[in-house]
A and B are shown apart, each in its own frame.
Chain A
Amino acid sequence: MFESLSEKFQSAFATLRGRGRIGEGEISVVCDEIRNALIDSDVARTVADKFVERIQLEASANLDSIKLSTNPSQEIYSIVQRELVRILGGAGRRLKFAKNPPTIIMLAGLQGSGKTTLAGKLSNFLKESGNTPLLVAADLQRPNAVNQLSVIANGIDIPIFAPQPGNGVGDPVEVAREGVALAKAKFHNVVIIDTAGRLGVDEEMMEQIRSIRDVVKPDEILFVVDAMIGQDAIRTAQAFNQGVNFDAIVITKMDGDAKGGAALSITEETKKPILFISNGEKTSDFDYFYPERMASRILGLGDIQTLAEQAKRVVDTDTAKRLEDKFLSGQSFTLEDFLEQIQAMQKMGSMSKVLGLLPGANSASMKKQLAAIDDNELVRTKAIVQSMTPQERREPKILNGSRRVRIANGSGRTVTEVNNLVDRFDAAAKMMKQMKNGGGGLPMAPQIARPVPPKKKSRSGNPAKRAQEESR
């Protein structure tokens, strides 16, 4: 979501990088560009002004040390990063559970911000961490919102309380109250209440959600906002903040390419933290919000931390250890290992999403390539490997013409595709050998990580020194 913002920041800093000496003038030029970048990214104008003012003050105060620094633009960069992290919520916050369960979570937001989808994702997220959520369908306004929540709940196997058909029938306050009572009786430790979307300016609807709040007394009121919202974000957030005094923010549709300035505006204006982000069509595309990581992403530094965590989450330590031992002991890398790697990759999510976390992934050229990545490629590759016999997987050398035809038929691919895979595997295996002699990279992706050629030994002109070198 912050992609374009980071692109623009990068160009603002590029102008700075070209200048050797930095004074007030240069700082004010960069600040102007940062302001423009923020406004183009839908950051509320007043927020952008305040942000830039602080950067300017901070930079001016540290002008002497910036001037002395070997890398002045890096200094300003750090100031911007610190300020971003600060606005986005510092250390980040986690869901607050009630001392006496159930923890009551109420969702509020504009129409179409994604509340119902989010209710499903949040309940699934909580269930996976060992909670027993109950969904309550209190959006009785939008046609079939109740139905939609029921379908979602059934799909992820979460209990739902939906006593009213909705479509304008039923009292949402009553539904919420009964839902909480039911959760208590059935020992659900979390209740998630979906409410109807409403406009910030609609006083009548705001009164309704206030009544729900006053009756159920939620532990967390989450304001759900679409990453694509424009300058109105600030007014809407203010209206909801005054209306229901929400506790935290959830940003949805983060997988789009919206510049996402709303996140900055809303946190700055309401001083409320962003708790979660939702970034995809799948139920699992949902996570806590990390201000540090997001600031890095805005500035185009990549999100290595998330990548590492995802890798850790999906590759169990046993497999990793076994592959590593095998690798170090000099045994050859087989198609069976390859298959295991593919499966681990698939568990990490789509290739484009994984690679999108790498530094530089926000540049225009990289973005284009990411968009063109076909995740079905992994599925097809897997199918081909799975159509081989265990022996063939261990010794790809025995793959003659007729075996290849059989594999192609078995996996529903063409012989050319089988040939390509075997060739790619050979290249990867070769690279594994090279990597053992130093270097690194992803063995699976020879086209991405070029093999590092073995380092040429330096040969000293001094015969004694050379002898010493060669004897090493």
Chain B
Amino acid sequence: MGRLGDFFAKFNRTKITPEELVNFSELLIDADFGRSYAEQILEVAKKSDGSNLQERVIDSIIESLSKAPRNLASHPERLTTFLIAGVNGTGKTTTVAKIANKLKLSGKTVTLAACDTFRAAAVDQLTTWATRIGVPIIVGKENADPASVAFSAAEKAIENGSDVLIIDTAGRLHNKENLMQELGKIERVVSKVSPIDEKLFILDGTTGQNGIEQAKVFHEAIGISGIVVTKLDGSAGGGIALAVERDLQVPVKLFGFGEGVADISEFDPDRYLRNLFT
């Protein structure tokens, strides 16, 4: 990450050479922005006379992003429902726990629905989190129909007067069509008792360019309303998150950065970029 910072530090006091520009686009590629995004950003840098380059680059990246609000949906008058989806191993279950904890600390009552009935012991994993945080959880048996678990969870959440229901789902690779249809089914079934206000796509921050394809397919299947990028505490640049946001015009709302339940925060592209560029 520091290398992009070095680049700007040098840049703001010397004249830009073509080699330096190539070098800059390569640093963006190394941060998983992808070739086409890097080229677009490079165009901005090329036009610059060298003054305030970092500001111009940041502005142009933010310009390319979604204009939708980055805060999570909230409907104080009724149950607000979140659906969590993504490919295997991106950190969905951990993210559910983190969001639940965050909401609880802000004074909301939260119910969890453990609909990952596929992965061995995934339900137990979320149950452990629920106990730690102190929120009710509705579970299904292993191999139960996730849609039916989600449905009864929504009924329970309304019954116990929860502010928010968070539905965890099984990880699925986006090229498995029947699994993607299952996700659509969960949405349809739950909508009968409560509209789904937030469909969050969990994107692993270490993912490469495949992240774009993943997000596209999930977007087609359920129409995602926000992205949560996880594992930003590693050495990965996480540029894929912005590349996905730029492509789908769906905002990154939160980012996760550790194993602790409090390690989640609102995503601010300006801050993220400044961090990346220093």
Contact = CB atoms under 8 A, between A and B. Distances in A.
Interface string B172-204: 011111000000000000000000000000001
A112 B121 contact: no
B112 interface: no
B271 to A, nearest CB: 20
A42 B121 contact: no
B236 interface: yes
B141 interface: no
Nearest to A239: B235
By size class, the interface of chain A is: 35 or more
Contact of A110 (B176, B206, B208, B259): B206
A258 to B, nearest CB: 4
A112 B128 contact: no
Nearest to A235: B235
A215 interface: no
A349 interface: no
Contact of B89 (A201, A233, A253): A253
A242 to B, nearest CB: 13
A40 B35 contact: yes
Contacts of B208: 42, 228-231, 233, 258-259, 261-262
Contacts of B121: 144, 147-148, 150-151
A183 B87 CA distance: 35
A155 B207 contact: no
Contacts of B177: 371-372
B43 interface: no
Nearest to A165: B128
Given A232-B206, A256-B174, A114 B89 contact: yes
Contacts of B235: 199-201, 232, 235-236, 239
Contacts of A44: 30
Contacts of A149: 120
A144 B124 contact: yes
B124 A147 contact: yes
A430 interface: no
Given A45-B30, A112-B89, A144 B206 contact: no
Nearest to B36: A40
B246 to A, nearest CB: 16
A142 interface: yes
B160 to A, nearest CB: 24
A117 B170 CA distance: 14
B124 A42 contact: no
Interface stretch (B5-13, B101-109, B209-217): B209-217
Contact of B35 (A36, A141, A147, A167): A36
A111 interface: yes
Contacts of B207: 228-230
B169 interface: no
A261 B210 CA distance: 10
A149 to B, nearest CB: 8
Contacts of B125: 142-145, 147-148
Given A45-B29, A144-B128, A228-B204, A256 B231 contact: no
Contacts of A39: 29, 35
A372 B31 CA distance: 35
Contact of A257 (B119, B175, B234): B175
B90 interface: yes
Contacts of A422: none
Interface in A377-426: none
Interface in B59-116: 87-91
B54 to A, nearest CB: 21
B208 to A, nearest CB: 3
A134 B40 CA distance: 53
Contacts of A371: 175, 177
A113 B34 CA distance: 22
Looking at A41, A42, A110, A145, which has the most chain B CB atoms within 10 Å of its CB? A42
Contacts of A40: 34-35, 209
Nearest to A120: B120
A304 interface: no
A226 B89 contact: yes
Interface string A129-168: 0000000000001111101111110010000000000010
Nearest to A255: B173
A113 B89 contact: yes
Contacts of B118: 281
Contacts of A143: 124-125, 128-129
B122 interface: yes
Looking at B88, B233, B237, which has the most chain A CB atoms within 10 Å of its CB? B88
8 contacts: A42-B208, A112-B89, A199-B234, A228-B207, A235-B236, A255-B176, A256-B175, A256-B210
- 6 tightest Cβ-Cβ pairs between the two chains A and B: A230-B208, A112-B89, A42-B208, A151-B120, A232-B236, A148-B121
Interface of B: 26, 29-32, 34-35, 87-91, 118-122, 124-125, 128-129, 142, 173-177, 204, 206-211, 213-214, 231, 233-237, 240, 259
Given A228-B87, A228-B207, 5 more contacts: A45-B29, A148-B120, A199-B235, A201-B235, A231-B208
